[in-house]
Chain A
């Protein structure tokens, strides 16, 4: 009985793994496969493989790593900006009287659920008015604004989960508000901050429509736009191999980030699920 249950569970886990890792493996294989091999399955095994897809990416002008850098820069700046604004705001929100907090939270949830593509034209108009186009620092402003509701919700929940006695004790120890934040509260919400940071980083990393319209200079493109350009570079053929190589390279920084912070992410995401 138990053994049957165990094998069924392992089977389920295997299916989930195939479901989630399969496409990635496929992409990885494709990136090392020659263009002919991708459309012709009669080629021998040994003549299928190549590194040319990667070489093609790196010899273009600007080279592909430039887009990696742009995306990393924008995503990091966005994350930093979001956390710097969301942490104090979340602290304030957690301290609000109950009734006020309820309606404010409803508004924030509404903002988080709002489809941001609807803001796209208005944001474009703003970029034009204030000449924010083609500027990697400027684009992190709408990115932060769009990530703010989610960050606020996650961080407010984290602050609320802390026992009040801890901050009271720190006050009686003579710690000012900024000292309490720095030495007591921030270390205690670190897991939530880490998972929030990852989510914000991912959003900025993957964002496409705003990047498409705000950035047009080829040396300032972020990854999603750059990859889309590769895919659409020729009218007559789709360069599958190069495309696959680009997505593989584009995923590496994310994988590293998630591997480094996986413990914080998991504990942050399940925060509050265990308690209560």
Chain B
């Protein structure tokens, strides 16, 4: 295990931001911290970086205790949501500043910077100020700076949330190629479940300062540990039927199907996306989302059903998953 958090507590004033947080990230593994805003995911990242101090708990990188090591000497490469490029320096100087302060010969420095700029297709922008760059270019400069840090851990704090959807999809392969799957563990903070599923080896869904469930994207999707996870992972979100005898049944919109022998229902709305479409139907006093092929003709009063094998069953009180019987 290369990055290890144990029983981390952190409170800001009255608010317990992190509550007994444990996390292990292996060499070359990318773990996404996923959660709604205010769940403590960015705080966790800042603690790993050393920008804030935990109230209790231990943070180890390669087995070495880091809590008392100041941020300057922790050797983490971080990409900020705001990119945090130095506005008074051009791209080259932005990348050079850290290298120069950490020592080393000028020629070695220049070689490294030019090769990184080349890899990220920024060579032509080397003499431009951050204010002259596009959002995608700024983001790549921030990546370049983190790469040149030779870090023990990569920390990415919502690195793509300021970019438009198209650019995000273009940058994902680049990000994966450069940072993810190398030597270092990667912690990727995001509130976008799609991004997390696309990039991460494992996803830790956080809620109120601790991890509600951690696992591969597949595990989280197929075996959500609670109704919270079930509704957080997968889009459109899982349908939860009204509780019956203390059991909430969840069913994914893609598992519902139109069936002439099924339950009758009425259509409330229909969204057509081309390859598929989403219907919101009212059925047995519950509103259900249903996804089917875009080609399907929809009756005015369709009938629906689902295979029992696709049901997820949760405890109505705690929201925890019930063992399948």
Contact = CB atoms under 8 A, between A and B. Distances in A.
Contact of B71 (A171, A179, A187): A171
A109 B149 CA distance: 43
B307 interface: no
Interface in B42-63: 49-51
A173 interface: yes
A166 B130 CA distance: 13
Nearest to B80: A165
A184 interface: yes
Contact of A174 (B73, B80, B86, B87): B73
Interface in B3-53: 49-51
Contacts of B50: 171-172
Contacts, number: 65
B178 to A, nearest CB: 18
B149 A172 contact: yes
Contacts of A168: 49, 51, 71, 78, 80, 84
Given A169-B78, A169-B80, A174 B101 contact: yes
B88 interface: yes
B137 interface: no
A138 B236 CA distance: 75
B145 interface: yes
A176 interface: yes
Given A168-B51, A169-B78, A183-B97, A174 B102 contact: yes
Contacts of B88: 187-188
B80 A173 contact: no
Interface centre among B70, B73, B78, B102 (most CB of A within 10 A): B78
Contacts of B173: none
A254 B72 CA distance: 43
Given A183-B101, A187-B88, A172 B78 contact: yes
A115 interface: no
A172 B71 contact: yes
Contacts of A175: 72, 97-98, 101
A163 interface: yes
A163 B84 contact: yes
A173 B97 contact: yes
B145 A173 contact: yes
B171 to A, nearest CB: 19
Interface residues of B, number: 25
A173 B149 contact: yes
Interface in A147-201: 163, 165-166, 168-176, 179, 183-184, 187-188
Contact of B51 (A171, A176, A184, A187): A171
B185 to A, nearest CB: 16
Interface string B289-308: 00000000000000000000
Given A163-B82, A168-B80, A173 B101 contact: yes
Given A174-B102, A175-B101, A183-B101, A169 B71 contact: no
Contacts of B82: 163, 165
B71 A166 contact: no
Contacts of A179: 101
A168 B50 CA distance: 10
Contact of A172 (B49, B85, B86, B87): B49
Interface in A182-237: 183-184, 187-188
Nearest to B85: A169
A173 B51 contact: no
A179 B73 CA distance: 14
B196 interface: no
A183 B102 CA distance: 13
Contacts of A184: 86, 97
A169 to B, nearest CB: 4
Contacts of A188: 86-88
Contacts of A176: 72, 101
B76 interface: yes
Interface string B88-101: 10000000011001
B101 A172 contact: no
B90 to A, nearest CB: 13
B116 to A, nearest CB: 14
A165 B72 contact: no
25 contacts: A165-B80, A166-B86, A168-B51, A168-B78, A168-B84, A169-B85, A169-B145, A170-B97, A171-B50, A171-B51, A171-B71, A172-B50, A172-B72, A172-B74, A172-B76, A172-B149, A173-B98, A173-B102, A173-B149, A174-B98, A174-B101, A175-B72, A175-B98, A175-B101, A176-B101
Given A171-B72, A188-B87, 10 more contacts: A166-B87, A168-B49, A169-B78, A170-B86, A171-B70, A173-B149, A174-B72, A174-B101, A184-B86, A188-B88
Interface of B: 49-51, 70-78, 80, 82, 84-88, 97-98, 101-102, 145, 149
The 7 closest A-B pairs by CB, nearest first: A173-B98, A169-B84, A165-B84, A171-B71, A187-B88, A165-B82, A165-B80
